[in-house]
Each structure stands twice: as C-alpha cells, then as structure tokens.
Amino acid sequence: MEDDVFTRMIGAITSQERRDRAERKFGASVVLAGYQVVPDVLVRYQGRLGLSPTDLCVLLNLGAHWWYPESQPSPRSSTIARRMNIHVRQVQRSLRALKDAGLIDVQKENGRRSYDLKPLVKSLERLAEKELGEKESREAARFLD
C-alpha cells in the first residue's frame, strides 16, 4: 500500500529529476547549500496535528539535520533557537510539546539528545492515506455522476 500511495502521488520520477525540479524552482546555489523534502501533508494538517508555528519551525530545523532515514537528528536547542531568533526555552518547550503529542521521541546518550521523527512520519502517513482515499472517493463519485 505504501508504495502504491507514493507512486500515485509523484509518479515514477528519479531522484535526479526531483533535484532538477528543486533547482528550477530555487536555483542551483540554493539547492547546493542544502534542501529538505517537506511533505505537503505536514503543512496542510499542522493545525490538526496541534502544531504551533514555533513547533512547525522546530520540526523543520530537526529535518534539516535528518540526512538519512536510519539516523536521528541531534541539533542543540541553542542552535535551533539562534536560527529562529527565539529564546532557547521556547525551543525546549516546543520539543516537549512535540514529544507529549507523540510526534517525536527523545533519546539521550552521552549527554547528547537525539530526536526520532518516526512517530511524526507515521502520523503523516495516516493523514496522507486518508486524504488519498477521500480524493479517490471524490473522483469515483465524479465519474459516476
């Protein structure tokens, strides 16, 4: 099912084609400086997920450090706060809210925190599958009309 959802959403395009699209949108230098994939479902359902604007920005900062699916990002709260131009306590409160909402897991090893985003991914998958199912239902109803 997961592969079907992915294929229906983007079709069969290569990673190079995705990168080329990003370069056409933002320019090669911006892409070379680094970019991340942000699922539209995260943006569309941020309210339903209970995300404040600060929470969403903190998640984007975590995503900027999540380079490989099997790894976990571990940026410092102070780094995120500096980037966002907010107090470190606001970042810490946001991270606590994300954990309490079941969207991230926090591990601490050797004094360093890392953030597991798999719970967020699972929530987004459920929302995406529901949205795709509703879209298919609407298309089927339109076909039958």
* Residue-by-residue DSSP string for 58-90: HHHHHHTT--STTS-----HHHHHHHHTS-HHH
- pLDDT by residue (tens digit) across 69-78? 899 999 999 9
CATH of range 38-144; options 3.30.365.10, 2.40.110.10, 3.60.40.10, 1.10.10.10: 1.10.10.10
CA distance 34 to 32: 5
d(CA 114, CA 128): 26
| Segment holding 110, helix H or strand E | none
- The answer for residues whose C-beta is within 8 angstroms of residue 28's C-beta and 6 or more apart is none
Domains in the chain: boundaries: 1-35, 38-144
Model pLDDT for residues 94-116, shown as the tens digit of each residue: 999 999 999 999 999 998 999 99
Q: What is the pTM of this model?
A: 0.81
